[in-house]
Structures are given as structure tokens and as C-alpha cells.
Structure 1
């Protein structure tokens, strides 16, 4: 699985309708609903402060959660919608969908690097840059990989590794169509600066005769 699936603790909401939702907000909660999975929808309440913290971390809609509600079996869910206050932009209602094993979802999968200790570019002093420490993939709920492993053991200085170089988990595909870069090996900054200095020196050493006469003077030819 994609690392440890975070728990999302909720309370079953008694009562339905706008009145129950308003009361939940007065109590420092955010009302929500859990639907799907061939069972009845479950109205819930979430702690406002904890929910807001998770939302501010980003990628809330692309995170798989293990929802825990007292009196109910744990269930894996993904957020499908967050309704917000039109002025304050604070969450007022959240929709979650229960996941079947065959459900297709978008998730950010952590990238794990292999071969860094033998990569020729690294041995020569090159610097590894992980352009994408996470890659968003379309995966099935039953086959979520723990990580996306990339092998950089053959990379030289100046080489890049793209998504097409990576063996993806069965049934997974990237959400971006183009062949994007995941990692690259660059020359160390000191060497890059030295190359720039060499280029500047070479330009300064061009003989005057090759540069032509000064502005405003005519050639003898």
C-alpha cells in the first residue's frame, strides 16, 4: 500500500437536514456524508480544527483515508467534495466515497531511489535532483503501491530519468500524458561555475585583429 494510510476519525451524526448540520457547526464540527460501497450513506461530523489542518497541508482529495466511526467497521474512503463558506472560504460540508477493490482513484505515490551508490554520474561528483519526490498515478484501490521505485544506477552527469523509464505497478498509469522528468544528475555547482568562467575567459582572449576595427574607424583594406 502507499505507505501508512492515515486515520480519519469521525462521529456519526444523529439527525439529518439543515438543522442538524447547523448544530454541528455550532459545536465546532463540520458535517459530512460517506456514500458508496453498496451500503446506505452515513452522515458524519468531523472536528473542524483537525479537518482545517489537513486541508491546509494540501492534496486532501488525493489522499486515501482509513475512516474510523464508533460503532461501524473501518472503511477506506477518499474525499470527493469539500463545500466552503462563500466569504470565509472555510469548510462547511465534506463528501467521502467508500472504495471498492476495483475503484480507480488518483493518488500521489512517493518516489524511492535505487542505485545512487553506483551511479557513475554521482561517483564523478554529480548531484542528484529529485524533481518529483511524488508522482500522481491512477491506481485501483486494491493495488496501491507503497512507493514508486526508480533506478538511477546508469545515470551520468547531465542524464535525466523520465516516467517512461519507470516500471509502473500493474494497472497504474500517470495522470500526466507527457513524458515528464522525475530525477536528474547535474554537475556540481563548483564545476558549473568554473565552466562559465572558462567561457568568459575565452571570449576575453579573442585577438583584436579578429574583432574588427573599433566603431567609427575604417579598415585599411
Structure 2
């Protein structure tokens, strides 16, 4: 069951009114959607943070604005004040539960790669996946098991299982996880010294390749 958030319409957009809202623990925001127009709102900052922490970044919320019918929304964007680390503005998007939408979903690696135990270095180049799904089918996160990865192995988007609930739209060749071989003593010894003279290359020989 979706968490209900209570909000009120915001009529005064002056800076002084906005500062007063924040001092009172409220966060200003806007709610909008296709053919729905824009409505300026404010709601309790701590209540919103708790709901997102409990339900997830891509959760569907019921947003009750004043005494109107609750709207099914997603948190589309937010702004933080970097110094105080405070929430200063939020954007909600009214969703159509029957229509697919594109969102970013967290990518989480699970398991322990054997290659990492033998000296390799596990790297995760990608931390979010682009997913297309109906709102109720959006996963909170997508997990990838790396417990079979040896040194030199990798997992790409194409290796992920196909779901009947959502589609991953990233390039299939995009690397998700890989175990790199560690630098060896031989590699270091064979690396050219900064004082070594550069090897001369015959331009004619290069053209014959």
C-alpha cells in the first residue's frame, strides 16, 4: 500500500515566504504531470525523507494536496543545500499506472568474486541501470551476483536475465562488473623509465602495416 504524504498548496512564492517554510520544517515543491498542469506545494520535510528512506527512491506515493483527491506520484527530482545538507525543493510527477516510464534503478553487486580473493580487483563501472516499466513494476534495485567471476571475467548488461515486468534500456555491451588482474612485478620492471629515450618509429614501416 502506497504511503500517503500530506501537502498544501503554496500561493506565496516570495523568497521570504519560502525561507519561512523551511524554518518551520516544510519543503517547497511542485507537482506536475502530462496534461495536469503545475501546482506549487509544500510538505513536511522529515515526513518526506522518512517515506523515501522506507519505500525507496522510485516508490509510488499518494500525495494529498489540501482536501483534494490523493494523486499517485513519484519523486522526480530534489535539490539539497550542500553546506547544511538540507532538502530545499522537491518535484513530484503524477504517474499513469497504465503507462510505461523511464527511470534509474540502483545496481547492487552481491556475492564475493573468487578472482578478488586471489589478488584481482573487482570493479563496478555502473551503479544505476536505465529501466522502462509501468510504475507498479519498477524494481527498488537490481542485484547482480558476482560469485562466479575470476580474474579477467566481466558481466555486461547483455548477461542480465530478461524480466517480464521491466526492460533494461542500457547498451547491452555496457560493463557492469569486472575483475581486473593486479599489476605484477614484471609489469613494473618492464615499464619504460622516464629517463629512457623514446623508441624511434620508421614512418614508412608504419604505413606498410
How high is the TM-score relative to the length of structure 2? 0.58
Equivalent of 1:197, from 188, 192, 198? 188
Equivalent of 1:186, from 172, 180, 184? 180
1:42-61 CA deviation, whole Å, 9 max, x = no partner? 733236xx6xxx9xxxxxxx
Match of 1:147 in 2: 141
1:174-216 CA deviation, whole Å, 9 max, x = no partner? 333351001111123xxx0423224249x9xxxxxxxxxxxxx
Partner-residue secondary structure (3-state), 1:142: helix
Matches within 5 A, 1:20-169: 20=11, 22=13, 26-28=16-18, 30=28, 32-35=30-33, 43-46=39-42, 66=61, 68-69=63-64, 70-71=66-67, 72-73=69-70, 75-79=72-76, 96-116=92-112, 119-169=113-163
Aligned length: 164
**Any stretches of 5+ residues in structure 2 without a counterpart?**
22-27, 50-56, 80-87, 194-209
Partner-residue secondary structure (3-state), 1:27: helix
2 CA distance for matches of 1:174 and 1:158?
Answer: 25
For the 8 Å contact 1:35–1:97, the answer to whether it is kept is: yes
User: Which runs of 4 or more aligned residues in structure 1 lie more than 6 Å from their structure 2 counterparts after TM superposition?
Assistant: none
Partner-residue secondary structure (3-state), 1:197: helix
For the 8 Å contact 2:102–2:130, the answer to whether it is kept is: yes
2 CA distance for matches of 1:162 and 1:187?
Answer: 18
2 CA distance for matches of 1:8 and 1:26?
Answer: 29
For the 8 Å contact 1:78–1:99, the answer to whether it is kept is: no
CA RMSD of aligned residues (A): 4.0
**Any stretches of 5+ residues in structure 1 without a counterpart?**
15-19, 55-61, 83-90, 204-221
How high is the TM-score relative to the length of structure 1? 0.55
For the 8 Å contact 1:120–1:156, the answer to whether it is kept is: yes
> Structure 1 residue 76: deviation in Å?
2.5
Over alpha carbons, which structure has the higher Rg?
1
1:26-71 CA deviation, whole Å, 9 max, x = no partner? 41065634345x9x76733236xx6xxx9xxxxxxx9556253354
